[in-house]
Amino acid sequence: MKIQSYSFGYIEIDGKSYRKDIKLIGERVVPDWWRSTGHRVELSDVEDLLDTDAEICIFGTGASGLMRVSEAVKSAFRNRGTKVLIEKTESACDTYNRLFQDGKKLIAGFHLTC
């Protein structure tokens, strides 16, 4: 799966466009990702991501980096042996593409706006 483009409020993956936050689990896009507390990622928001054998979890925190990932989420992934990367969404998309091309087992959550 390749992220072809990202701009504020928009992401294109394998020729399909999305205008709401998304999660990527293996080769599957989970559209319309909404978190229980808006701009903060809590455990209940990522149960499906935690239920994988991914090597790396990437969070795109928005164009300005306003979304935050709770310490509980970071700890839960690390306790499972999954590395957590947190970057503004544009950088996170680049990181995702690079690591995907390198054959890494990835999961991700991307906030597309702020």
* pLDDT number for residue 99: 98
The rounded average pLDDT for each run of 10 residues, N- to C-terminus, in the chain (114 residues) is 97 97 96 94 97 97 98 98 98 98 97 96
Domain spans in the chain, listed from the N-terminal domain onward: 3-110
pLDDT at position 111? 98
Q: How far apart are CA 55 and CA 111, in angstroms?
A: 21
- Please list the alpha-helical segments (H only) found in 7-114: 47-50, 71-79, 89-101
At residue 39, the pLDDT reads 94
Domain 3-110 grouped into CATH 3.40.1230.10: yes
At residue 16, the pLDDT reads 97
CA distance 81 to 78: 5
